[in-house]
Structure 1
Amino acid sequence: MNKILLFSFLCIQLFINAQFSERNLSSEKWQFKNAKETKWMSATVPGTVHLDLMKNNVIPDPYKDENEKKVQWKENEDWDYQTKFTLSSTELQNENIDLVFLGLDTFSEIYLNGKLLKKTDNIFRKWEIPVKQYVKTGENLLQIKFKSSINVGKELAQKVSFTVPESPRSFVRKAQYQFGWDWGPRLVTAGIWKDVKLEYWNQAKLENIKIEQKKLTSTRADLNIYAEIFVDEEGKYKVAVNGKSQEFILRKGLNTLSIPYQIDNPKLWQPNGWGKQNLYDVKISLQKNSKIIDEKSERIGLRTVELIQEKDAKGKSFYFKVNGKPMYAKGTNWIPGDSFSPRMTREKYQKLIKDCKDANMNMIRVWGGGIYEDDEFYKACDVNGILVWQDFMFAGSFYPADENFQKNVELEVKDQVERLQNHASLALWCGNNEVDEAIVNWGYQKQFKYSKEDSLQVWKDYKKIFHEVIPNAIKKYAVNDKNIYWPSSPSIGWGHKESLTEGDSHYWGVWWGEQPFEIYNEKVPRFASEYGFQGMPTLETTKSMFSGKPDLSLQNGTIKAHEKHSRGWEIIDNYMKRDYVIPADFVKYNYVSQLLQARGMQIAIEAHRRAKPYNMGTLYWQLNDCWPVVSWSSIDYLGNWKALHYQTKRSFENQIILPEEKDEVLNFYVINDELKTFENVSLDFDILKLNGEKKGSGGTAEIKTLESNGILNFDSFSLEEIIGDEDRNELFLHLMLRDEKDNILTESNYFFSKPKDLKLPKPNIQIREISATEIEVSTDVLAKDVYLIGDTHFSDNFFDLLPGTSKRIKLSKPLEKIEIISLWDTMNP
């Protein structure tokens, strides 16, 4: 018995004097209710009120049927959350106890044992409250009372003398997409959307670690490690970096230490396509009296990133130099992966970013109308070599700049910069999405009858937030190598000629302007950070829109409700008429809508890449979806690759042949984005009829060197030389780039006509099973845009299969049955 008491006493003393420790309160039994009611229901933390209402069968799933409109009442209500937790006398002996909320959505009051501790007003901030004096041994009551963001936002809007567009969302520091977008539902949430925890600490704690890369050479990396330490008991402390310690005298309060650290013979972190993503673990520990009292670990990559803007004969360059070399940015735009962010899992983040890597991307833009993503997103980008263009969370509206708003934004920037800056993948901070453009180009001032003073105030507020508050906060809280800042994306609106000669561009002449896809060949910017076209989700995801048996019809109300653009179906039909035969059958229409989207983006991407180095980046809109929807995404809500993602993988290959037809002449460009030179390359092509008959061959007269990170313009051919007397609707080219050993580096097909005009013969497509997860697909004549349908991921899909050839395809899981459609089927009902 005495031994047990002694052991217990020692455990208590160790706990009291131990390193920093924490207790997660998210796992306690939480309850919630409408503030006007008395009945409590079970809640989940992290979560949202919508998810809790669904689990308690109060509202239907808004992703299903036409249920979205049935849940709108929720946004006008106030909601109360609470839990009880028991605190032991041992826990209470800690010198300091902090209550930490990693995310509250959005306007709330926090009570502990009946005491109001804090009012919150920003979904993007961390809230940390010392609570030692408010907790007690035994049961404690924690309550969070949420106010309707709609109602509070309206109250804030009334304080402004003019009408602000998109009001009240721009007054609310909350995920802007929750208010509805042209790809997302209106689901204005409330709740505890990230973890809640108690942090116990004694003597001192590590507040924040910033790692600055001072110098990087092939033999040595010189780092500065800035350790912010909050001290309760001043005196001598040791700080160790990967076991190597230094002694410091720390005063009471916040101390900032600068600790030099060196890595010999460093291995670079390279973007995808350039090499390995080498990462280093840096462990920082805080010690006193030979005991570790707190420690943190960071995983870093050694690399340099510069944004280069230099005047030239055509305007001003805009490109990223990575590790001293110009990098052509290939990638996409990211929106939140769910309208209810707590549902995003580590696995979903990893899969979506791995899908970017597998599609040969090296950059992703986190769009400014969503959220600063979970740590798992940035970790996945670090591991997969995907550089991050990080918008701050402002999008497409006018924003206030009163003193409270300025301070709120500064602290938001502080929290996010300090959380994210050590990631190797982080390349750029951008102030907002399309706020500059909204002010200059969208005509809100005229629509809402602004006075001259009103218009001047809008611009003054804009300059204050995006040219002063945010960049000043970055300088204050970020280390020097992580403070590249760009005020607004785009820098110039797509209706202005300068948008194509400098800065980054959002070109929406296609879709919004309803111009043909071919306009992409003319409207080539220096850096395309946004452009896109809609396509339907896969059949599996389309069926998931229904709570019961799916009614797959374009006239069905559920299908219509899952297209959020007011003219979406009309625009898709108008473009489809230009390039394809519009099928009456729903499955075939779904298939052709995906082909249409992929075709448009292929034309854009390849026009951009042909213009290298004038154009040095192409990020299409958008990678993913937040619910099952007809949208611009290349991967639908359930994670299925649409035709666009398969095409993107081909269009983003490091080596690619890019023909350009102009004035009856076919020009051939070859791009090499890899850091490798290919000697003695040749370009060959076969002239084939769609039925497989060979009509001739051609190719380069001169063997050339394809330089590292370079572009080649090969010989040109007149269409008369290639086509002669043949019908261009019956011909295509099969193009091959060969190295000096006659190996094919890359190959592709070029068609002289739009898909609807091709005189396709009926293919006899056969599938042979190689194994449970591998098949071989073959055809006798050209099978255009072969679509394999089945509940699995195919290693390739929506591909052209040459006459008399076969292709092996891997499956992510076995299937009993695979259906096949090709373009011929849509033209011959």
Structure 2
Amino acid sequence: MNKTIFFAFLFIQNVIFAQSSERDLSSENWQFKNSKDNKWLPARVPGTVHQDLMNNKIIQDPFKDENEKKVQWIENEDWDYQTSFTISSKEVKNENVNLIFNGLDTFSEIYLNGKLLKKTDNMFRIWEIPVKQNLKVGDNLLQIKFKSAVNTGKEFAKKVPFTMPESPRSFVRKAQYQFGWDWGPRLVTAGIWKNIKLEFWNNAKFDNIKVEQKNLSTKRADLNIHTSILADREGKYTIVINDKPNQVQLKKGQNQIDIPFTIQNPKLWQPNGWGEAYLYDMKLSLQKDSKALSYKSLKLGLRTVELVQQKDEKGKSFYFKVNGNPLYIKGTNWIPADSFSPRITKEKYQKLIKDSKDANMNMIRIWGGGIYEDDEFYKACDENGILVWQDFMFAGSFYPADETFLNNVKEEVKDQVNRLQNHPSIALWCGNNEIDEAIVNWGYQKQFKYSKNDSIQVWKDYKKLFHDVIPNTLKENLTTDKNIYWPSSPSIGWGHKESLTEGDSHYWGVWWGEQPFEIYNEKVGRFMSEYGFQGMPTLETAKSMFSGTPDLNLQNTTIKAHEKHGRGWEIINEYMKRDYQTPTDFIKYNYVSQLLQARGMQIAIEAHRRSRPYNMGTLYWQLNDCWPVVSWSSIDYLGNWKAFHYQAKRSFEPLLISVSETTESYDIYCINDLLEDLQIDSKMELVDFDGKVLWGAGATSKLLANSAEKHLEIKKENFSKFDLSKTVLKIVVGSNSLKSEKLFFFKKPKDLKLPQPTITIKKLSPTEIEISTDVLAKDVYLIGDTHFSDNFFDLLPNTSRKINLTKPLEKIEVMSLWNTLKN
């Protein structure tokens, strides 16, 4: 038989065997009830108790109206789940049967046929239990009894001699955002939030596969495949990696087998913007006597990532070097895409990551108050060239460090690192979100009247957890030192001078400090891992807040309830007064609030990118939402792009033009994120709002790869005779392969003397339109039930813009900033 055909046949057999050795119990007929009740109701697994209560019409959707307030009782109750499943005589003949829970939320007791098998205490752990001796041919009863995480956490809190902030959430190993955040509701869930399966195996099975990249060059990649194998019988076995068999001797019990593997002339996995995120298929089969016993597959990306921190005259650098080249990081922060994470679909993960790629991003930070995301998230990042900054799930509080808690965290870290480390997208492991800062800056010790010994204990516990247990466990379970550990984000709080000279920085002088957007030009750190400003969601998402006919009114209590920051409306209004005329009409206010958010974030991102190489990364807060809400997101809960996401796409372009105003000049910067130099021609024109060119200049120069350079300087005296409230500076920069355009306005939007535009929409095809205008149209806003390839853009007369639609529309409404003026 042809070797290739034989291996393909063997591979198919392996897959069939591997699939038949597992059985998903999630699809069985599940029931649930309040532990106080007798009546069982139908349930769905994976799921949460809130979803099951909604499906049984016991509660109304907490995302609608003000229903969130009405469901708070759920967190204080205990909940029981059960199902019955049938085991055949053939299945029970397997030598080993394991019951595997990929996610139980959070405190539970697991019973099989009336016998207590395990107590669980961590939402983020995988629970694997041998159950062959507990199974019987015929019907088997599986029961899971969940205790209230809130009540359990309160009991833990009583054992600490001082008050812990955010108690009881910091005592329980579950998603911290469920306890409420300034962008999310309080919905503390319980339930079987990931799938359950029965695993049948004989002789031996793969436990885990880790791929170590020992050496990588253009000619070859030398790998070490670390296989963890559990054997029930000792003897000779074969491990086939792709088409290459390897004979191994296994002892009974746990075996660690390392197998060298080489790839000739390897293709590199490149981050978005630098090339293809190339992935290799790796298929591993464990065999004995030509019979397939166990099977694993993974996608492998070959790349190098290192975090570079070197002292310099201004502090210490903080940047990522990918495949040997410094990479300017452009991206965002991620929160869970739903308050009920089991209902986040693969399609939603893929769309949000693709939307990030389409906005020219190359990194997403998974924030530490959510969840270790579903495999589909990391798969999408691998495929789209998006690097991942992975926080461990700790955020904004103090955490205990007793032996039980630390051992629990250690197992959590092992489970998640073993699950995720083969993903080429993983670039950094980070201990927590804002806990160092919480201890040092937030004044909890004074608020809760800590003694000196109490404060010392908090810091000792912090060090033990984030500087000892987590990094040591990480090191024990990683195959390579190229995945880096960073104890806390930020490394230094935003009120301290050093926060802008070393490490990563969360800058919240804008929003929390209510400083003007322009302060972003001064407050630039080495790596900006958090900053942001709120904006309203799209009209479609605002309407989804209502169960009945939407009342789109800023005074409506439902609209107000979907803003979780205590002073959110007040802060938005204050900033809006500074830069815009404030509309009273809801639709216009919604539109201007989005423009306001986009304007602030544009100023921040461009200030960061102009400062390269001092600054080497900008991750804004935040990409997405977990429910319909006014928030810092650039994409709202329903997946619609806000004005900010369209602006992020422009601000993250690989070739960016940015204008910095000084007391005497307008400095024009060109930023090139590509790996090749560009020969660029630039053309500048001062244009009035009717399209008349008042002044012009041009230049030709070389723009170095991976650089930000001041390209031109225009003296303000050149424009002294013009009314700059009626003009715009148009800059076009281009090379043979790339072109970028910038419209720079000299005045704040509220101070522009805008003419009334007549905007024309020409239909080119069912899914393509062309937009044009007779005079300047500022911030053109296309409204319709479709996704527009561009929106919230400025348009000069005598120009046009082609826009693609994801689906045809009979009618498209359009407005511009002129429509919001108080004439």
Please indicate the TM-score interval, normalised by the length of the shorter structure. Answer: over 0.9
Choose from 737, 760, 766 the match for 1:766: 760
Residues in 1 aligned to 2:334 and 2:318: alpha-carbon distance in whole angstroms: 21
Distance verdict in 2 for CA 1:118–1:732, change over 3 Å = same
User: What residue number does 1:263 align with?
Assistant: 263
Residues in 1 aligned to 2:734 and 2:274: alpha-carbon distance in whole angstroms: 21
User: What residue number does 1:628 align with?
Assistant: 628
User: What residue number does 2:789 align with?
Assistant: 795
Residues in 1 aligned to 2:181 and 2:610: alpha-carbon distance in whole angstroms: 33
The question of 1:316 aligning with 2:316 is answered yes
The question of 1:197 aligning with 2:197 is answered yes
Distance verdict in 2 for CA 1:525–1:48, change over 3 Å = same
Residues in 2 aligned to 1:543 and 1:807: alpha-carbon distance in whole angstroms: 29
The question of 1:529 aligning with 2:529 is answered yes
The Cα of 1:481 is off from its aligned counterpart by 4.2
Residues in 2 aligned to 1:238 and 1:688: alpha-carbon distance in whole angstroms: 73
The Cα of 1:699 is off from its aligned counterpart by 3.0
Residues in 1 aligned to 2:720 and 2:629: alpha-carbon distance in whole angstroms: 46
Letter in 2 for 1:587: I
Residues in 2 aligned to 1:554 and 1:812: alpha-carbon distance in whole angstroms: 31
Greater mean deviation of Cα atoms: 771-780 or 599-608: 771-780
The Cα of 1:609 is off from its aligned counterpart by 0.2
The Cα of 1:744 is off from its aligned counterpart by 6.4
Residues in 1 aligned to 2:683 and 2:16: alpha-carbon distance in whole angstroms: 75
Letter in 2 for 1:224: N
User: What residue number does 2:702 align with?
Assistant: 705
User: What residue number does 2:545 align with?
Assistant: 545
User: What residue number does 2:8 align with?
Assistant: none
The Cα of 1:482 is off from its aligned counterpart by 4.8
Residues in 1 aligned to 2:693 and 2:246: alpha-carbon distance in whole angstroms: 75
Whether the 8 Å CA contact 1:20–1:202 is kept in 2: the answer is: no
User: What residue number does 1:272 align with?
Assistant: 272
Whether the 8 Å CA contact 2:414–2:477 is kept in 1: the answer is: yes
User: What residue number does 1:7 align with?
Assistant: none
User: What residue number does 1:288 align with?
Assistant: 288
- Runs (4+) of structure 1 exceeding 6 A deviation are 14-20
Residues in 2 aligned to 1:18 and 1:521: alpha-carbon distance in whole angstroms: 57
Residues in 2 aligned to 1:669 and 1:106: alpha-carbon distance in whole angstroms: 52
Letter in 2 for 1:714: H
Whether the 8 Å CA contact 1:99–1:199 is kept in 2: the answer is: yes
SS at match of 2:605: helix
User: What residue number does 2:172 align with?
Assistant: 172
Residues in 2 aligned to 1:267 and 1:20: alpha-carbon distance in whole angstroms: 35
The Cα of 1:245 is off from its aligned counterpart by 1.2
Distance verdict in 2 for CA 1:363–1:15, change over 3 Å = closer
Distance verdict in 2 for CA 1:521–1:16, change over 3 Å = closer
SS at match of 1:618: strand
Residues in 2 aligned to 1:246 and 1:630: alpha-carbon distance in whole angstroms: 57
Distance verdict in 2 for CA 1:15–1:816, change over 3 Å = closer
User: What residue number does 2:812 align with?
Assistant: 818
Residues in 2 aligned to 1:17 and 1:788: alpha-carbon distance in whole angstroms: 54
SS at match of 1:133: helix
Residue by residue over 1:503-532, the C-alpha shift from the partner in whole angstroms, topping out at 9 and shown as x without a partner, is 000000000000000000000000000000
Residue by residue over 1:599-640, the C-alpha shift from the partner in whole angstroms, topping out at 9 and shown as x without a partner, is 000000000000000000000000000000000000000000
Letter in 2 for 1:766: T
Whether the 8 Å CA contact 1:213–1:481 is kept in 2: the answer is: no
Q: What is the CA RMSD across the aligned residues, in angstroms? A: 1.3
Residues in 1 aligned to 2:664 and 2:183: alpha-carbon distance in whole angstroms: 40
Letter in 2 for 1:827: L
Residues in 2 aligned to 1:603 and 1:15: alpha-carbon distance in whole angstroms: 53
User: What residue number does 2:739 align with?
Assistant: 745
User: What residue number does 1:9 align with?
Assistant: none
SS at match of 1:526: coil
Residues in 1 aligned to 2:652 and 2:711: alpha-carbon distance in whole angstroms: 20
Choose from 727, 731, 736 the match for 2:723: 727
User: What residue number does 1:780 align with?
Assistant: 774
Letter in 1 for 2:252: K
Residue by residue over 1:666-703, the C-alpha shift from the partner in whole angstroms, topping out at 9 and shown as x without a partner, is 11110000112212x23221101112121010233xx3
Residues in 1 aligned to 2:257 and 2:165: alpha-carbon distance in whole angstroms: 45
User: What residue number does 2:102 align with?
Assistant: 102
The question of 1:718 aligning with 2:712 is answered no
Q: TM-score scaled to structure 2, two decimals? A: 0.97
Greater mean deviation of Cα atoms: 782-791 or 706-715: 706-715
Residues in 1 aligned to 2:265 and 2:17: alpha-carbon distance in whole angstroms: 39
Greater mean deviation of Cα atoms: 786-795 or 286-295: 286-295
Q: TM-score scaled to structure 1, two decimals? A: 0.97
The Cα of 1:480 is off from its aligned counterpart by 1.1
Residues in 1 aligned to 2:499 and 2:246: alpha-carbon distance in whole angstroms: 52
Residues in 1 aligned to 2:442 and 2:709: alpha-carbon distance in whole angstroms: 40
The Cα of 1:19 is off from its aligned counterpart by 8.3
SS at match of 1:269: coil
SS at match of 1:356: helix
Whether the 8 Å CA contact 2:286–2:294 is kept in 1: the answer is: yes
SS at match of 2:626: coil
Residues in 2 aligned to 1:60 and 1:508: alpha-carbon distance in whole angstroms: 36
Residues in 1 aligned to 2:470 and 2:483: alpha-carbon distance in whole angstroms: 11
The Cα of 1:16 is off from its aligned counterpart by 13
Letter in 2 for 1:208: N
Letter in 2 for 1:726: F
Residues in 1 aligned to 2:19 and 2:196: alpha-carbon distance in whole angstroms: 20
Whether the 8 Å CA contact 2:426–2:483 is kept in 1: the answer is: no
Residues in 2 aligned to 1:154 and 1:817: alpha-carbon distance in whole angstroms: 56
The Cα of 1:17 is off from its aligned counterpart by 9.2
Residue by residue over 1:185-240, the C-alpha shift from the partner in whole angstroms, topping out at 9 and shown as x without a partner, is 00000000000110000011000000010000000000000000000011111111
Residues in 2 aligned to 1:202 and 1:756: alpha-carbon distance in whole angstroms: 73
SS at match of 2:133: coil
Residues in 2 aligned to 1:18 and 1:234: alpha-carbon distance in whole angstroms: 21
User: What residue number does 2:410 align with?
Assistant: 410
User: What residue number does 2:152 align with?
Assistant: 152
Letter in 2 for 1:217: S
The Cα of 1:714 is off from its aligned counterpart by 1.6
Whether the 8 Å CA contact 1:314–1:501 is kept in 2: the answer is: yes
User: What residue number does 2:357 align with?
Assistant: 357
SS at match of 1:144: strand
Residue by residue over 1:272-300, the C-alpha shift from the partner in whole angstroms, topping out at 9 and shown as x without a partner, is 00001110011111110111111100101
Distance verdict in 2 for CA 1:650–1:492, change over 3 Å = same
Residues in 2 aligned to 1:716 and 1:355: alpha-carbon distance in whole angstroms: 35
User: What residue number does 1:8 align with?
Assistant: none
Letter in 2 for 1:676: E
User: What residue number does 1:69 align with?
Assistant: 69
Task: Map 1:266-665 onto structure 2 (within 5 A).
Answer: 266-665=266-665
Residues in 1 aligned to 2:350 and 2:631: alpha-carbon distance in whole angstroms: 22
Letter in 1 for 2:181: W
Whether the 8 Å CA contact 2:305–2:483 is kept in 1: the answer is: no
Whether the 8 Å CA contact 1:546–1:558 is kept in 2: the answer is: yes
Whether the 8 Å CA contact 2:520–2:607 is kept in 1: the answer is: yes
Residue by residue over 1:129-164, the C-alpha shift from the partner in whole angstroms, topping out at 9 and shown as x without a partner, is 000000100000000000000000000000000000
SS at match of 1:214: strand
User: What residue number does 2:9 align with?
Assistant: none
Residues in 1 aligned to 2:34 and 2:54: alpha-carbon distance in whole angstroms: 14
SS at match of 1:600: helix
Distance verdict in 2 for CA 1:828–1:234, change over 3 Å = same
Residues in 2 aligned to 1:728 and 1:747: alpha-carbon distance in whole angstroms: 19
Residues in 2 aligned to 1:301 and 1:352: alpha-carbon distance in whole angstroms: 21
Unmatched segments (≥5 aa) in structure 2? 1-13
SS at match of 1:194: coil
